[in-house]
């Protein structure tokens, strides 16, 4: 595990240099995918990096909050022509 961590650090440093010094795209994922020590394809790595996998219940918590806390508080003003209420998520 420690060896893999060190390899990631090495690849990260090389990819960072490429971006900073050469103005090229970050190729960290490609470097890791090409390294036989990891044994992963680019697709497998990208699947693990999907941001949706890291948000947990946050999307449902937002919906619950809007439905149970926000909407009841703005409901009295729905028909008030002097008040404009808009919710953007």
pLDDT confidence of residue 59: 92
Q: What is the CATH number of the domain that holds 18?
A: 1.10.40.30
Contacts of 70 (CB under 8 A, 6+ apart): 87
Same domain flag for 43 and 13? yes
Please give the structure tokens belonging to residue 65.
């909050």
pLDDT one-digit tens code per residue, 23-82: 999 999 999 999 999 999 999 999 999 888 889 999 999 999 999 999 999 999 888 888
User: In the 8-state DSSP scheme, what is residue 32?
Assistant: H
User: In the 8-state DSSP scheme, what is residue 76?
Assistant: G
pLDDT: is 19 or 83 the higher one?
A: 19
Confidence of residue 10 (pLDDT cuts 50, 70, 90): very high
Q: Distance between CA 5 and CA 81 in Å, rounded?
A: 60
What range defines the domain where residue 75 resides? 55-89
Same domain flag for 43 and 68? no
What are the Cα distances from residue 23, in Å, to 7, 8, 34, 52, 73? 23, 21, 21, 29, 50
Per the structure, how many domains does the chain have?
2
pLDDT confidence of residue 89: 79
Same domain flag for 6 and 17? yes
Residue 86 confidence (pLDDT) above 90: no
């Amino acid at each position: 595990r420690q060896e893999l961590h060190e390899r990631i650090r090495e690849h990260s440093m090389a990819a960072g240099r490429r971006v900073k010094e050469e103005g090229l795209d970050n190729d960290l994922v490609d470097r890791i995918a090409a390294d036989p020590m990891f044994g992963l394809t680019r697709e497998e790595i990208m699947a693990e990096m999907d941001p949706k996998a890291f948000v947990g219940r946050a999307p449902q918590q937002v919906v619950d909050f809007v439905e149970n806390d926000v909407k009841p508080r703005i409901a009295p003003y729905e028909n008030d022509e002097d008040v404009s209420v808009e919710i953007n998520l």
